[in-house]
Every structure is written in structure tokens, then in C-alpha cells.
Structure 1
Amino acid sequence: MAAIAAHKMQMIRTLVETAPDAALRSLELALSGAGGQGSLAAVRGLVEDETANRFVRNNVLAPIAPLCVARREGQVDFPAPVLSRLWRALKSVAPEGVQEASAKCNPWDLEQGTPEIFDELCKTAAAGLRDPDNAAFDSVRVLCDPEDLALCLQLAPIVRSCLPKLSEWVSRMSGERAAAARLAYRDACRISDDAGALLLDILSAHLPDDWRILRVISAVMDRPSDRYLASSEFKDFGERILDDIDASIVRVETFNFADGEKVGREVAQVAHKVQLQIVEFQQSVDVAKDGPWGKRLARHKQVMAKACEVRMEQADKELERALPTRPISMMGKKGGRGAAKLTDEPDEAQIRRAQGALAFVAELRSCADKAGYGTTRTKVLEKLNTRLDPYIEDVLHVARTGEGGDTALAVKYLNIAAGFIAYTRDEKTAEIVRRRAAAAIAA
């Protein structure tokens, strides 16, 4: 295979250097089988070099790396290209330091703790950003406020020292851990009066659930009252959590069953997150019923419970439309269960709606009892199973005997009903229904 022209190779190099991490990993995997010669081998070499370069970069700039993605309004963040441009500037002004960092960026060195050169490079970057005559950092300055980024880099050594302890701080805070958190906060405040809050904002970016930083704030401030916290430098942290709960309630109230199972489960997980957020708030902050945040939390709990109850109660109607029935007699009561109506092909759109509704009900099992709507969920499940059980028996009879409807349609609806009962009971029950359907077909 002919070699790639120089100008095309430069284009490929630019694409590789600017590709997102996920795309770079996919490209590396796709090229792993390329031989040692030819144009693909040259591209593979570029990808491998860039992967190694990013590994070093992401270790050196680890404290600020999660900030280089879009975050919620009010949280510190920087455009994604900042990370690569900052690293390029460091390679320009401190090549020996970068080389030393690369040499020490290996498992056996990292196991001994963070090499000092990592923090030194962050300090060099902070100084370079603050020096308007240092042209190497001009490409970074055009993307963000250089002082904001410089302060984050100045905090990098403190952030880096906190990261190994962070999971312990948010999982089970002890007196010793609280003392360590307070010490880190004080060290940050020595740099700048507002650097303490910035430190905790940066640490929150390293958490899977950034709202769990409230536990660290509680340790730093010795479990403050909501009145005190709402008037402190940490006010925005609490407000963001409460605003997030507001948005979650709207999501539960407005999501469309037609979006199917995946969305139904996702929205139920949103409701679960709200339950965890409320508990975290109540445990981390001394919330007064008439306090500025206490009233909002109480309202949130009630409104979310009502929203979940309303959406769960809609599931029975969706199930009825997906599994249509006909009156057993002309005198059948309106709303009666009736017999399975096996005259039309299953409505795929309505089945998807029922799956979305049932998945929502099923996924709420993790939080319904604790959040105050467990009784409603139990009643809804009973109602759904009261509809499903006789329907399945009716359709099984048709599948076995052909009496009362089309056998082929009966089998289709039986498989659909088995899928539904996996939500209302469990997969084991659904598998039993499927085996009975298979036996009916074979008979």
C-alpha cells in the first residue's frame, strides 16, 4: 500500500489530536490489527503516540480534567479544547518537565504517590496564564478567563491530595476524615478568600453524583443550619440541588410513555435520585421546617410522590390498550375485564407505551417505600396483575384449542403478555408463561 502524502498525514495528525477520548479509543481498537508497514501502520503510530500523550496529560492535569466538559450553570467549567491547548503550551515552555512527567507516569511510580513534577507543571501553567507576555498560552486565553483557570491550577496540589480520600469522605464521613476535609478547605482559603468554595466545586466534578459533595460541605461547616448555609458562600451548592430536584419532578410529570422501556426506567431512576438527594440534604444540613430550604424540600417530597402516583396509576389504561378485550356478553358491564380480543394484529405503538409505563412502575421498587408512595405502587401492581392473570389464561386456552380467536394471534399476544408480567412480577414468572405458550403450540 502506498504511503500517505505528507499534507494528508498532517490532516490525519490534526484529526487524531483533536478527536475525543472515546473516538480515539475506538480508532486505536480498529487499527490494532494493522501490520508493521504501510499507510495504516503510520496512522496507527499516530494514534498510539496520541494515546500515550493523553495518558500523561490526563495524569498531570487530573485535578482540572473533569472541568473541561459542559457542567451546569454556576459550576466552574472550561471549553473542552482547553486541556489539549494547555498541555501543548506546557510542552513548549517546560519541555524538560513534561519529559520527566512522561518518564514518571508509569504504574510503579504512580503507586508511590504523585510525582512532584505533576504539581510543578500545574504551577508553571498557572504562572504562564497570568503572564500576558507569555505567548505560548495565548491559545488558551482566547477560550476562557485565564485567571479562573490559573486559580484552579493553583489549587491542583490540594485537589490532587484530596482525590484518593474523596470516595471515603462521601461514603462514610468520620471525625478524622472531617478534620482532613477542613484542613484542605483552610489550605485553599489561604490562597484566596473564595478558593474554599472553588475547591469543593472542583472536587464535586470528580464525583459520579456531584450533589454528594454536600456531605463534605457539611463536614467543613460542622452540619450547618439551612438558614446559615443559604446565606454563605456555599449557597449555590444547595440551590443547584434544589433546582435539580425541580427539574426531575418536571421530568416525571411530563415524560412520554411512547418513548418506551428505556426512558421509563431512566425516569424512575430520576425519581430514585431525588429520594437520595432529599435524604442527603436532610442528613448533611440541619433543615428547619420553616427554613429557606426546609419548605422547598417538604414541597418537593410531596410533589414528587404525587407525580409518581399519578404516572403509576396511568399504567393500567396503557396495559388495557395494549392487550384489548371484548365483553363476554352483551350485558357485560362497562370496564369489565372481558375476554381477550384476538381479531387484530398487536399495536406496536401501544405495546411500546405499555412497556414505558410498566418499566417505570417496576424500576420504582428501589425507592417507592422510602419516598412515601410504596403503598400506591403495591396497589397498582395488584391491579395490573389482576388484569394480566386472567388474560394470560384466556389466551392460553385459545392457543391450545383455537376456540374464541385466531391461534396465531393468541401466541403473539401471549408472548407480549409474558413480557409485561416480567415488569409486574419477575422474569421467572414471565419464563413460565413462555414455556406454557410453547407447550400450547406444540400440543
Structure 2
Amino acid sequence: MAAIAAHKLQLIRTLVETAPDAALRSLELALAGTSAQSMLAPVRELVEDETSNRFVRNNVLGPIVPLCAARGEGCVSFPAPVLSRVWRALKGMAPREAQDAAAKCNPWDLEQGPPPVFDELCKIAAAALRDPGNATFDSVRSLCDPEQLAMCLQLAPIVRTCLPRLSEWVSRMSDERAAAARLAYSDACRISEDAGPLLLDVLSAHLPDEWRILRVISAVMDRPSDRYLASSEVSHIGERILSDIEASIAHVETFNFAGGEKAGREAAQRAQKVQLQVVEFNQSVELNKDGPWGRRLARAKLNMAKACEGRMDQADRELDKALPTRPISMLAKKGARGVAKLTDAPDEALLDRARGALAFIAELRACADKAGYGTSRNKVLEKLNSRLDPYIEDVLHVARTGDGGDAGLAVRYLDVAASFIAYTRDDKTAEIVRRRAAAAIAA
């Protein structure tokens, strides 16, 4: 079987080396069954070599790995290629140490803790970045602020010590854990007065929810007041979280129902996050109602409640458009719903808007009561269900008898109504509606 040409293999090598981690994993899985005689065997070897190389790289440079990804505005971050370029430069500059690190990346070695050579390589990289005469790291300097990256690498030993404890620090802080956090912060400040805040920023990048770093800040500073924290060297972290809260409120106020279920759930999840962030501030910081952050948080909580209530109130109108009705008689009272109008097929655009609104309300279940708009949500759900229940009965009647509209359209609208009631009640109720629809068709 013909082999892949050398120039094409080099092109594939470049693509493999620059592929995102997720794409590389997909390639590895796709090529797992490739035999040694296959034309794709060299490609499989390239993918396996790159996977192994990244495993070593991500262990050695672990403290800065999450920094080389998209992060929020104001966070310390570097372009994604920085990681591979630093590692390539290190292998060229310190090949013996890089080989030693690769040899000690076995699971049984890592169980004993990170080998000292990992921190040694980070120190070598930091020194090289600060040396303008070191051309090996020129490609890295061209992508980012070399001093900021060098400081992050210099902090690597402290970060590496903190990482195994970080989940404990943000889950249940104790006096002993608080002392360890203060010691790590103090060690960072000995390097530079700016290194302490930078350490907290780097640690936050390793958390699933970056705003939980407030718990570590609280421990380091012994639950400071918002006035003190707002004027401290770590104020930028609090300001960043507050800005994120305000951005989430704006998102809820303006998200488009046309985005369907995905958009509705995403907006509700932003509301949930705000509720958790507000609680985190209250637990970690001594807030004053007239303080710089206490005042902003109180306003943010009120604004989010108004935003959520306003968007929930729009759901009834979206439901009316998606499930049209006609008046029973000319003498019907103004505002009366009437019966199902089964003359046109369901409009997918209108259905998506209704799904967006209903998914938003459904997803707010996790935070509405705690955030202060649970009663409003319950009232909206009651109103929606009082609209859906008679509509389902009307459409079921038409599906069974054909009296009052097109029986085929009635079945389609029944399925739509069942999907809607899954949002306003639950999946079990929706399944009951679908079974009743199936029985009506079979009758």
C-alpha cells in the first residue's frame, strides 16, 4: 500500500501539533484501530506522540495551563499557542531536564507528588523569558507580556503546592486551611508585592467557578469589609465578579426568545450564577449597605429579580402566539381565550420563542425562591397551566371526533402542548398527555 508523501506527512504533523485538545482526542479515538500496515499508521504515530508530549507538557506547566485559554475580561491570560511554544523552547534549551520530566510522568511517580524537576523547568523558563539575549524564547515573547508570564512561571512551585488543597479551601474552610492559604499568599508576596494578588488570580483559573476564589481571599484577609477589600491590592478580583454579575443581568434583560430552549436555559443559568455569586459575597465579605460593594450587590439583586419577573411575564404572550385560539362566539368577553384554532400548521419560529420563554421559567426553579422571585414564578406557572389545561382538552376532543377542526393538525398541536407542559409541570405530565393523544388517534 502506498505511503503518505513526506511533504504531506509534514503538513499533517503541523495540523496535529496545533490541533485543540478535544480534536486531538477525537483523532486518537478514530485512529485507535489502525493497523501497523495501514497507510494511516504514520498518522496514528504522530497523534500518539503528540498526545504523550502534551501529557508531559501539561504536567510540567500545569500551573499556567488554564491561563492559556479564553478567560473573562481583566483576568490574567495568554494566547493558547504560548503553552506549546514554552514547552518547545524548554525542550530545546534544557533537554536533559525535559527528558527527566517525561520519564517521571508515569502515574506511579505522580502519585508521590510532582517531581522537583517540574518546578526546575518552570524556573528555567521564567529566567529565559527575562533574558532578552535568549533567542530561544523569542517566539513566546512575541505573543504575550514576557514579564507577566515569567512571574506566573516563578509562582508555579507555590501554585503547585496549593492545587491539591484548593478544592478543600473553597468547599469547607477551616482554621488550619486558612492558615495554609495565608502562608501561600505570604510566600508569593516575598517574591514581589504584586505576586500575592497574581497568585489568587492564577488559582481562580483552576476553579470550575472562578468567583469561588472569594473564599480564599476571605481566609487570607480574615473576612474583610467591602470598604477594605475595594481599596486593597485584590480589589480587581471583586470588581471583575461584580462586572460579571451586571453582565448577567443585562443578558437576562435582552436575550432573545427566538433562540429557543438553549437560549432560555442559558439565560436562567446566568440568573442562577448571579444568585450564587451574591451568596458568595455575603459569606466571604463583610458587606455594608452603604459600602462600595454592598450597595452595588443590593442593586444587582433587585435588578435581577426585576429582569427575571419581566421576562417571565412575557411567556403568556409567547404561548398565545404559538398555540392560537379563536373566540367561541362574537359575544365572548374581551380577553377570553376561546378554543383551539386548528386551521394552520404550527409555526416553528413561534414555537421556538415559546420554548425559549418556558425553558427560562423552568430552569429558574433552582434559584427563584432563594433569589426572591419564587412567588412571581409560581404565579406565572399557574397562569400558564390554566391556559394549557383547557387547550389540551379542546385539542383532544378534535383529535377524537374531528369536530371543530382538522384532526391531523389537532394531533400535531397536542404534541406541541405536551412538550410545553413538560416545562410548566414535569415530564411525567407531558407523557400522560402524549398517551392520551395516542389513545385518541387509535380510537
Aligned 1:255-334 pairs, distance under 5 A:
255-334=255-334
Does the residue aligned with 1:64 lie in a helix, a strand or coil? helix
RMSD (Å), alpha carbons = 0.9
Aligned to 2:104: 104
Q: 2: distance between equivalents of 1:422 and 1:72?
A: 35
Aligned to 1:28: 28
Q: Give the deviation of 1:145 after TM superposition.
A: 1.7
Q: Which amino acid aligns with 1:216?
A: V
**Comparing 316-325 and 424-433, the one that deviates more:** 316-325
Q: 2: distance between equivalents of 1:80 and 1:44?
A: 24
Q: 1: distance between equivalents of 2:39 and 2:442?
A: 58
Q: Give the deviation of 1:5 after TM superposition.
A: 1.9
Aligned to 1:157: 157
Q: 2: distance between equivalents of 1:343 and 1:414?
A: 14
Kept in 2, the 8 Å contact 1:272–1:366? The answer is yes
Q: Give the deviation of 1:33 after TM superposition.
A: 2.1
Kept in 2, the 8 Å contact 1:2–1:38? The answer is no
Aligned 1:37-48 pairs, distance under 5 A:
37-48=37-48
Aligned 1:74-153 pairs, distance under 5 A:
74-153=74-153
1:374 aligns with 2:367: no
- Deviations 1:205-248, CA, capped at 9 Å, x for gaps: 11111111011001000000000000000110111111111110
**Comparing 180-189 and 140-149, the one that deviates more:** 140-149
- Deviations 1:149-206, CA, capped at 9 Å, x for gaps: 1111110000001011111111111111111100100000011111000000000011
Q: Which amino acid aligns with 1:10?
A: Q
- State TM-score, norm by structure 1: 0.99
- Structure 1 residue runs of 4 or more that deviate by more than 6 Å after TM superposition: none
Aligned to 1:169: 169
Q: 1: distance between equivalents of 2:38 and 2:384?
A: 63
Q: Give the deviation of 1:19 after TM superposition.
A: 1.3
Kept in 2, the 8 Å contact 1:163–1:203? The answer is yes
Q: 1: distance between equivalents of 2:234 and 2:134?
A: 35
Q: Which amino acid aligns with 1:423?
A: Y
Q: 1: distance between equivalents of 2:195 and 2:403?
A: 77
Q: 2: distance between equivalents of 1:292 and 1:48?
A: 53
Q: 2: distance between equivalents of 1:251 and 1:147?
A: 36
Percent sequence identity is 79
Q: List alignment gaps of at least 5 residues for structure 2.
A: none
Q: Give the deviation of 1:73 after TM superposition.
A: 2.5
Q: List alignment gaps of at least 5 residues for structure 1.
A: none
Aligned to 1:4: 4
- Deviations 1:255-300, CA, capped at 9 Å, x for gaps: 1111100110110000000000011011110000000111111110
Aligned to 1:55: 55
Q: Which amino acid aligns with 2:88?
A: R
Instruction: Give the paired residue count.
Output: 443
Q: Which amino acid aligns with 1:221?
A: M
Q: Give the deviation of 1:90 after TM superposition.
A: 0.8
Q: Which amino acid aligns with 1:211?
A: W
1:440 aligns with 2:440: yes
**Comparing 350-359 and 333-342, the one that deviates more:** 333-342
Aligned 1:405-416 pairs, distance under 5 A:
405-416=405-416
Aligned 1:379-398 pairs, distance under 5 A:
379-398=379-398
Kept in 2, the 8 Å contact 1:218–1:285? The answer is yes
Does the residue aligned with 1:208 lie in a helix, a strand or coil? coil
Aligned to 1:204: 204
Q: 1: distance between equivalents of 2:265 and 2:45?
A: 42
1:349 aligns with 2:353: no
